[in-house]
Chain A
Amino acid sequence: MDTVTILLSSFVLSITGLFVFIWSLRKRLFDATSAAAYVIFSSGEVGRGEEPAANATQRAGMQKEAAGQGHPQLTVAEEATLQGELALRVEADQSSAFPTFVFLSCAIVWLIVGSLAGLTSSIKLHQPDWLTEQAWLTFGRLRSIHLNAVAYGWAPMASLGIATWLLPRLLKTPLIGGRFAVLGAMIWNAGLIAGLGCIGAGINDGMEWLEIPWQVGILLVVGGALVGLPLVYTLQARKVEHLYVSIWYMGAALFWFPILYFIGKLPMTHFGVEQATMNWWYGHNVLGLFYTPMALASVYYFLPKIIGRPVQSYNLSLLGFWTLAFFYGQVGGHHLIGGPVPGWLITLAIVQSIMMIVPVLSFSINQHLTMRGYFSLLKYSPTLRFIVLGGMMYTLSSLQGSVEALRSINTITHFTHFTVAHAHLGMYGFFTMVMFGSIYFVMPRVMSWEWPYPSLIAAHFWLVVAGFAIYFIGLSIGGWLQGMAMLDPNQPFMNSVAVTIPYLKARSIGGALMTLGHLTFAGHFIAMVLRNGPARTGAALLHVNGRNAAIATAAGA
């Protein structure tokens, strides 16, 4: 087979496909205003932020800032329509409350499990004789427990919980088939517990990201498919004309993931080097075609929602979606640069990695333009802080990823801790931050109860930001030095190990702060669920009308 032809045709196909899709969407793409961007607002709601995680003072501050942006006052009749639609939204929120609660509670448990396993693994890298008596605690197993608890526990549970909650709001209809989602979550978690047990016991399929034995993986596929059912049912019952961009991202991701996992886990099919290319096709796509779109869907909903202003360029957001879909899928080969894989595959991966700049920039520019004039709201809204920071980390991590795929840079960073730092910039700096923000927004609506201790939200934020800064900066420097030492033939290999030690210790300190932040978060979550803490303004849902009236008064004043 002529490989140049394969290479060229794949690239040309991607580009052509992209243009076809842009062309098919042209009507909406070049409209001056896009009705679809307003789908997430009720009539007359633009100009009113929603932020259930904020306390009364913060809310008043937000309202003052937003009022400065000059939003129209509503007539009494318009106000009544709005209140009517908001009541319907409350109903939609209630329909998704239980499944969302199940998902998010599981997510918190896996976050703690993942953090503890990660922190222990990190310490083991500079204290190699610590906790070595038990086989399941050895670095190679515990590290995989960390990865799988985070990648198949925290990340999907959090993002599926948020997706389940967003569906009725985006489609303006109650969630249909929520019990399938709950059943799916139970099967999924059973599979994950079994899978982690297998890894601890030393039974695994031997591939990064695909460690869980395929026999157990069946549970994840079945569970995942069940979780997808409410999406299908609710879509069929939708009452909105346009699909909002978040639905594009979530819908595609929910279809992509089961296919990725199924092909990745096909037993007795893959072999040798082909298995390696499949491994990184999977490993990168689970990030790019599942976690990334799920988090972007959240950003595209919560950010405009909180500031009460539609996304600046709806069309840019759709362009971002289709370019992500076309380019991201083929970048996985950059994990094998310098490896025994066909050369064309590497070239293709590098080219598409660079093309990823397009979706990333279209997202970043959009986020910045939407936030322009509203940055002061970051002072008041806990959700916004996490989400805006997460969005910025998305830009950073993706651009860093594109650069890392270049042969010259990859030669240094490949095989080093630099890649680990990069992976955490994406999965933590971006994905996890966005999920934290989303959970802060969603939980008061799910529980009909406000976050009891606002100071804990601030503590959580600063702990994870400080911890992650130490983690990322430290490990990136350490990884770079490691790579440089490894490329210098005059230095013994052990130099590349020795040079990383201080940075590995820094990573443990950063990781400890992050874990502390997560424990704070989990404690706060539990306090909320148990309805602990000082009674403040009372249950968010029950008081929704009263509060909106208060906001309206504040805005009028």
Chain B
Amino acid sequence: MHDEFKLLSGAMVTLALATSALVIVPFMQLNPVQPPAGLKPYTSAQLRGREVYIKNGCIYCHSQQPRDKSQAPDDQRGWGRAPVAADYYYDKPHLLGTMRTGPDLFNIGARQPSADWHLGHLFQPRAYTPGSIMPSYPFLFEVKDAAEPGDRVLTLPPGYTPGGKVVVARQEVLDLVTYLQGMDHTYPVLPEAKK
């Protein structure tokens, strides 16, 4: 049983080291962080929109973490300053993302505040950005013969509306757009002490 003991204890020690480095110490270090004054908690519509973002896997192509000027020209693309941990105070789960098949969305609300643009772009991205490889999301919309009272009708570029019909946004996509419009982290923060 000598070998088994060594195996198990060794395996647990190494895992404990890794867990303290990547989970426990960050937990202790980041737990006292307070939200910046400029950051507002999500509204319930924004939270619902965030769920739609998670549901459809937006995170697999869009990051929410611009890199610092010294590392990459992210700020010149209008993606904003480098974030600090406090910017994510209200984020559960985190949506930092690891891919940029599409642009970073940390400040998409500041960069593109128009709901019309977002709705139309989600209905058909190539109507706004030629060459885009973002999927279209027809299942977030309804195509009707005529709008009913209370319907949010899309204003699409010429040639993209199905003949003689109207495209109406479902509640889900309205929430998603509310969330995207709220993605504005242009408020100032104190740079974190260099660690």
Min CB–CB distance A314 → chain B (angstroms): 13
Asked whether any CB of chain A lies closer than 8 Å to the CB of B131, the reply is: yes
Min CB–CB distance A327 → chain B (angstroms): 9
Inter-chain CA distance A285–B22, complex, in Å, is: 11
B190 CB contacts on chain A under 8 angstroms: none
Interface residues on B, range: 35 or more
Q: Is the interface of A mostly helix, strand, loop or mixed?
A: helix
Asked whether any CB of chain B lies closer than 8 Å to the CB of A344, the reply is: yes
Asked whether any CB of chain B lies closer than 8 Å to the CB of A437, the reply is: no
A140 CB contacts on chain B under 8 angstroms: 56-61, 135
Q: Given contacts A10-B17, A325-B14, A340-B65, are A494 and B129 in contact (CB under 8 A)?
A: yes
A124 CB contacts on chain B under 8 angstroms: 135
Q: Which of A95-103, A273-281, A377-385, A426-434 is the interface stretch?
A: A273-281
B57 CB contacts on chain A under 8 angstroms: 138-141, 143-144
In the complex, the answer to whether B133 meets A126 with C-beta atoms within 8 Å is yes
Q: Which of A108-116, A199-207, A296-304 is the interface stretch?
A: A199-207
Asked whether any CB of chain A lies closer than 8 Å to the CB of B71, the reply is: yes
Partner of B17, one of A13, A205, A496: A13
Partner of B84, one of A14, A203, A280, A340: A340
In the complex, the answer to whether B96 meets A276 with C-beta atoms within 8 Å is yes
Min CB–CB distance B35 → chain A (angstroms): 10
Within 8 A of B (CB), among A224-282: 235, 242-243, 247-248, 251-252, 255-256, 259-260, 263, 270-281
Inter-chain CA distance A124–B132, complex, in Å, is: 12
In the complex, the answer to whether A243 meets B14 with C-beta atoms within 8 Å is no
Smallest CB gap from A325: residue in B? B14
A255 CB contacts on chain B under 8 angstroms: 8, 11-12
Inter-chain CA distance A281–B67, complex, in Å, is: 21
Partner of A248, one of B7, B58, B60, B132: B7
Inter-chain CA distance A332–B134, complex, in Å, is: 29
Smallest CB gap from A416: residue in B? B100
A285 CB contacts on chain B under 8 angstroms: 15, 18
Inter-chain CA distance A141–B33, complex, in Å, is: 33
Give 1 or 0 for each of B164-185: 1 = CB within 8 Å of chain A CB. Answer: 0000000000000000000000
Asked whether any CB of chain A lies closer than 8 Å to the CB of B148, the reply is: no
Give 1 or 0 for each of A118-138: 1 = CB within 8 Å of chain B CB. Answer: 000000111011001111001
Asked whether any CB of chain A lies closer than 8 Å to the CB of B98, the reply is: yes
Partner of A332, one of B8, B17, B22, B90: B22
Smallest CB gap from A144: residue in B? B57
Asked whether any CB of chain B lies closer than 8 Å to the CB of A168, the reply is: no
Within 8 A of B (CB), among A347-382: 348
In the complex, the answer to whether B19 meets A263 with C-beta atoms within 8 Å is yes
Partner of B30, one of A139, A273, A328, A336: A273
Partner of B89, one of A272, A345, A416, A497: A272
Q: A6-B25, A128-B125 are in contact. List 18 more A-B contacts (CB 8 A).
A: A6-B21, A10-B20, A139-B135, A205-B93, A208-B59, A208-B60, A251-B8, A255-B12, A272-B88, A274-B26, A274-B31, A342-B195, A411-B72, A415-B63, A415-B99, A487-B73, A489-B77, A497-B132
By Cβ-Cβ distance, the 6 closest A-B pairs, closest first, are: A140-B57, A329-B18, A281-B22, A202-B55, A489-B73, A272-B88
